[in-house]
Chain A
Amino acid sequence: MNKYEKYIRYQTFPTPWCPGCGDGIVLKSIAMAFSDLNLDPNDIIVIAGIGCSGRMPTFFNTNTLHTTHGRALTFATGVKLSRPDKLVVVISGDGDALAIGGNHLIHAARRNIGIKMILINNGVYGMTGGQVSPLTPQKFITETTPYGNIEPKFHPAELMIAARATFVARETVNRTVQLKEVIKKSFQHKGFSVVEAISNCHINLGRKNKMKNPVKMTKWIAERTVTKAQYEKMTTEERAHKYPVGILEENTDRYEYSELYHKHIVPAAKEAAKKNNKK
């Protein structure tokens, strides 16, 4: 047995994912990050919403919670504030995190609550059969954009930086070693972190857009991603349809929310109460 398999709950297999889906790579990357950090499964909780990504917690041999569509972060906020000592991981898809759950996402980032978010971006609603998502590229054909998508997409990593997230990274399922490494780094970060993992849905997005197998689709992903260093050297024209990967934001100056509450608000309130009693 490999070391990371301690964190895999084989009793709940098989997964509901299609053959070749990038979700399996993300699952293994997270388990390997747990393993590298030698974490006690009882000190970890993995929470997710609805969709293909929503099913992922079931397969971790840690505390796991499968919640409602888009709202995993809200449950995670309750857990983290109650148990600041635990590693709270949220797994989300692009529809889950940025459509129905967009409000919770920006507020969790703003609070800088120590939740570790893995945002799997496959650009489509996979579980429901391939409808347009807030991250579907323009002109793409989906089940609900049969004549091509006319909506511009979010750039989630940049959106998270604007929402004041203190750790933001982007990786792809092609770059498995780097993906595992940024996930590990995000777990070590104190505040809110988000790792955008660009993934392939060749079944529900690729098939309708001339990328019917995982090879074609991951190749397309590779063509559109460059390292942060490469990106910085590029001209504006060259940057069109290119996305930098790696750690895009890391700020350790801001307090994590639950720490701020328990180490600053609680003592301040107790002190104020004492003074009030003396009067």
Chain B
Amino acid sequence: MSKRKVFQGNIIVAKAAIAAGCDFFAGYPITPSSEVSQHLSKEFPKMGRDFIQMEDEISALGACIGASLSGKKVLTATSGPGFSLMQEHLGLAVMAEIPLVIVNVMRGGPSTGIPTKPSQADMMQTRWGTHGDHPIIVLYPAFADEIFSETVRAFNLSEKFWNPVILLLDEVIAKAHEDIEIPEKKDINIYTEKVNVIKDLNIYDRNIGENPPRVDFFKGYPIHIDGLEHDSHGWPTSDPATADKMQHLRMQKIYHFQDEIIKFNEYHMEDAEIMVFAFGVSARAALSAVREARDEGIKVGLFQPLTIWPFPKKALQERFRKVKKVLTVEMNMGQIKYEIERVSSDDVMKKTLLRANGIPFTPKEIVNSIKEFTK
């Protein structure tokens, strides 16, 4: 008997967060993400976990950071405008190396945009939204089962690397009801970095690849956490040598481990002459399109990144040794296409299929684009 059940995408996120051990949620209502908080407001109290609706998105992420520093696994859910408001606190979480997960169910923009329609609008806001150079991890599931697994992975990566992780979702996927098989508890891998006792003030002292910082309050040693640039004690500093060292430590903790962080799916890429590069809901349409085009004898494959940032540069460069045509499909006016341009040489032909009016691409449109590319 199949264990598959039908759930809304936002509810799958909430269920995965519960499974991952998330025990604190602070949020602010915003379409199209509100079901995440609605579900957790009902379920968290039953488990003795904390739920609070704050006065805005700024305070929602502030509360999450405070809770994370107090030993909780934390989540907030929002959409583009709310995510914009969170940028300053996102920067503080990166600076102070605080694990947390933000779900951004994207909608069109700028400003209020089209709240009830999908748009892959925040590809660059997730990368460069907060000011200053900073490392970030962004995951982007496309299929219902991936929503669950990538949500769990978001928590695991944030715990492992002591960094915020953003989970992107498309409005249509977040709002659609689809059948998925929720994995059994024993089949879910949960990574938790436990801080037991802090014995000294050198909380940020380590080399690349060594143990994470120990940013946990109430562990027996009175530590200081700061949004200012700090030394290994967490104390504010403007000493250039220390600032240089700390900046590199933060940036490299992600890039050093990018092979572990970067995940992607490939479909029909074995003998492909054309690669379609698509993510989220666009990847779904692209997969159908690739299969239709294959039926007509076109050698085309799909590269679907699950990790958007860090960008899968190495994997793509390997593919571009053989594949000399890449079609980037994204529901915006051209954001990730610049990354494709950055990681490919001039002998790779680039084509784009872009649209930001709230209507997702149909497989037919993508097939037509593929056909044009064969000429």
Residues of A within 8 A of B (CB): 9, 11-12, 41-45, 47, 55, 57-58, 60-68, 71, 73-83, 86, 103-104, 107, 261-262, 265-266, 268-270, 272-273
Contact = CB atoms under 8 A, between A and B. Distances in A.
Given A60-B222, A65-B225, A266-B45, 16 more contacts: A41-B222, A58-B226, A63-B217, A64-B223, A65-B217, A67-B92, A68-B88, A73-B62, A77-B62, A80-B66, A82-B72, A83-B217, A103-B55, A103-B56, A266-B48, A268-B45
B202 to A, nearest CB: 12
B370 interface: no
B62 A58 contact: no
Contacts of B42: 269
A46 to B, nearest CB: 10
Mostly, the A contact residues are helix
Contact of A74 (B58, B223, B235): B58
A68 B235 contact: no
A261 B50 contact: yes
Contacts, number: 142
A65 B69 contact: yes
Contact of B59 (A64, A77, A82): A77
Nearest to B230: A66
A17 B352 CA distance: 57
Nearest to A104: B59
B109 interface: no
Q: Which 7 A-B pairs have the closest CB atoms?
A: A78-B66, A74-B62, A269-B45, A78-B63, A75-B66, A74-B59, A78-B67
Contacts of A83: 70-71, 217-218
A67 B227 contact: yes
Contacts of A261: 45, 50, 52
B334 interface: no
B58 A64 contact: no
Given A71-B62, A78-B26, A66 B221 contact: no
A79 B48 contact: no
A4 B220 CA distance: 19
B48 A68 contact: no
Contacts of B222: 9, 41-42, 44, 60-64
A78 B64 contact: yes
Given A41-B222, A42-B220, A104-B55, A79 B62 contact: no
Interface string B56-99: 10111111111111111010000000000000110010000000
B54 A77 contact: yes
Nearest to B56: A103
A66 B236 contact: yes
Contacts of A65: 66, 69, 217, 224-226
Nearest to A57: B224
Contact of B65 (A55, A58, A75, A107): A75
Contacts of A107: 54-55, 59
Give the most central of A12, A81, A107: most B CB within 10 Å: A81
Nearest to B224: A64
Nearest to A59: B224
Contacts of B161: none
B228 interface: yes
Contacts of B52: 77, 81, 261
Contacts of B185: none
Given A63-B223, A66-B236, A107-B55, A71 B89 contact: yes
Contacts of B217: 45, 63, 65, 79, 83
B70 A79 contact: yes
